[in-house]
Amino acid sequence: MASILYICVRPERGAAHAEHSSFLRGLGVDDLDQLDLVSEPLTTEVLERHDGFVIGGSPFNVTDAVKTPLQERVEADLERIAARTLDGAASAFFTCYGIGVVTRMLGGALTLSHPESTRATEIRTTDAAASDPVFGASAPALKVFTAHKESASAVPPTATLLATNDECPVQAYRVGARLYAAQFHPEPTPRDFADRMVFYRNNGYFDAAEFSAVEAEVLAASVSGTDLLRRFADVVTPR
């Protein structure tokens, strides 16, 4: 059985613990190793031990004008995971903040012009996604949860666009055969996402005064991002 590692990049402990549970359930695996990059760096032994990686979200932004040494180290460690997948030694699914790290690494540009608030939104798969083992079965569209300030301004060099919508043109892409990057959050259920809102009600992802209304909309949503994660787990090949 392939070994998959959840990478946490959230300083908020409660949100991090819940995100791990969401990925465990979403991947449909019996066990999910975890590494909290906020607390400890990525070692070469841990990097080389796992066949696959799922990278959660974070309140960090790659475009932050001022970064702490912790954030700089976290981004460097995420780039090491991306490099390993590009070498074909592992598979990875980067989400939210992670797509920004990968985009910059690949020479792409980031923008603040396509933010999406906390909500469920429809994304459309591209023609190129039709044959993709993770996104193909979700064609022509699926609903997922979003909450972000920055995004890729365009698909970076060497990447293949897999999903888009009008609000944020770069919703997901693949690089090579093993690296997936998504702007949205595929792992949470509506209950998961509503619970996560509590930790970020003052972070600018939604109007804090409208918390109850946003929460109600989130809880009423129907999303299918975990379908992507289950298919990703299926394509992670043990060495």
pTM greater than 0.85:
yes
Interstrand relation of 91-95 and 33-36 (parallel, antiparallel or unpaired): unpaired
User: Which domains, from first to last, does the chain contain?
Assistant: 4-235 (3.40.50.880)
- Give how far the C-alpha of residue 2 lies from the chain's centroid of Cα atoms, to the nearest Å: 20
pLDDT digits (tens, 9 = 90+) for 132-185: 999 999 999 999 999 999 999 999 999 999 999 999 999 999 999 999 999 999
Q: What's the confidence (pLDDT) of residue 238?
A: 81
Q: What's the confidence (pLDDT) of residue 208?
A: 97
The gap between the terminal CA atoms of the chain, to the nearest Å, is 9
For residues 237 and 215, what is the distance between their CA atoms, to the nearest angstrom? 38
The alpha helices in the chain, defined as continuous H runs, are 13-27, 44-49, 69-86, 97-105, 190-197, 211-220, 225-235
Q: What's the confidence (pLDDT) of residue 2?
A: 82
Q: What's the confidence (pLDDT) of residue 237?
A: 85
The list of the chain residues with pLDDT below 70 reads: 1, 239
